[in-house]
C-alpha cells in the first residue's frame, strides 16, 4: 500500500496492460485479465487518508485522464469491517459476506429449477459442478463448514444427489463416475 502511494505521489504509477485469452471448458468464451492494484488503506489518521485520496485523484486526472468514482471511496471506522472478495474482514476474524451467502442460495435455487424442469444435460451437470464449486471454493477458506452443510443439505434438491457427491468435508462437488 505504501509502495502504491509512493508511486502515485511521485508520478511513477503505470497501469499494466490487460490480456485476453480463450477458455474452452466448460464452455468456449473469452476471458480478459488485468493486473489490479485496488487497495484497502487502513490508517489511524483520517487526515492522512484524505491526502491519499487527493493524491490518487490528482494523479489519475493528470497522468491517466481518469476520474476516481466518488462512490468507490469509503471512509469508515475499522470496527465496521471491510468487504473484500466475498468476505467481510473485521479485527481478528473474517466472515462470509451476506451477499455471497445470498448469491450461493440463488445459485442453489437456479440449479433446483433446472432439475425440476427437465433432466439435466451434460452441459447442465458441468455448469452445476462449476457453479457450486466456485462458491464452496471461496467459502472453504473461512469458518463456514456449518453454513455450507446447512445450505447444501437443506436446500439442494435430492435429484442432484443421484448425479453428484461431496468431497473434502463439504468443500467440493464431483460427478459420480457413471455420469462423467
Instruction: Tell me the three cell numbers of residue 51.
Output: 491526502
User: Each residue of 70-92: pLDDT tens digit?
Assistant: 777 778 777 888 787 788 888 78
Among the listed residues 93, 96, 106, the one whose alpha carbon sits nearest the alpha carbon of residue 137: 96
pTM score, whole prediction:
0.65
> Where in the chain are the domains?
2-75, 96-179
Look up cell 457450486; give the residue: 132
Among the listed residues 107, 88, 104, the one whose alpha carbon sits nearest the alpha carbon of residue 96: 88
All residues at 6 or more sequence positions from 16 whose CB lies less than 8 Å from its CB, including other chains:
34, 35
User: Each residue of 97-148: pLDDT tens digit?
Assistant: 999 999 999 999 999 999 999 988 889 999 999 999 999 998 988 889 999 9
Amino acid at each position: 500500500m505504501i509502495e502504491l502511494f509512493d508511486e502515485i505521489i511521485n508520478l511513477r504509477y503505470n497501469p499494466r496492460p490487460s490480456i485476453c485469452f480463450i477458455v474452452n471448458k466448460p464452455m468456449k468464451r473469452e476471458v480478459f485479465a488485468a493486473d489490479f492494484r485496488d487497495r484497502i488503506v487502513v490508517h489511524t489518521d483520517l487526515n492522512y487518508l484524505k491526502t491519499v485520496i487527493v493524491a490518487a485523484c490528482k494523479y489519475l486526472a493528470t497522468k491517466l485522464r481518469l476520474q476516481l468514482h466518488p462512490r468507490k471511496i469509503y471512509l469508515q471506522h475499522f470496527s465496521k469491517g471491510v468487504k473484500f472478495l466475498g468476505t467481510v474482514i473485521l479485527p481478528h476474524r473474517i466472515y462470509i459476506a451476506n451477499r455471497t451467502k445470498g448469491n450461493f442460495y440463488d445459485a442453489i435455487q437456479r440449479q433446483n429449477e433446472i432439475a425440476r424442469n427437465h433432466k439435466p444435460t451434460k452441459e447442465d451437470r458441468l455448469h452445476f459442478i462449476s457453479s457450486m464449486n466456485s462458491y464452496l471454493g471461496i467459502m472453504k477458506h473461512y469458518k463456514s463448514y456449518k453454513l455450507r452443510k446447512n445450505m447444501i443439505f437443506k436446500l439442494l434438491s435430492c435429484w442432484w444427489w443421484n448425479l453428484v457427491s461431496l468431497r473434502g468435508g463439504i468443500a467440493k462437488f464431483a460427478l459420480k463416475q457413471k455420469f462423467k
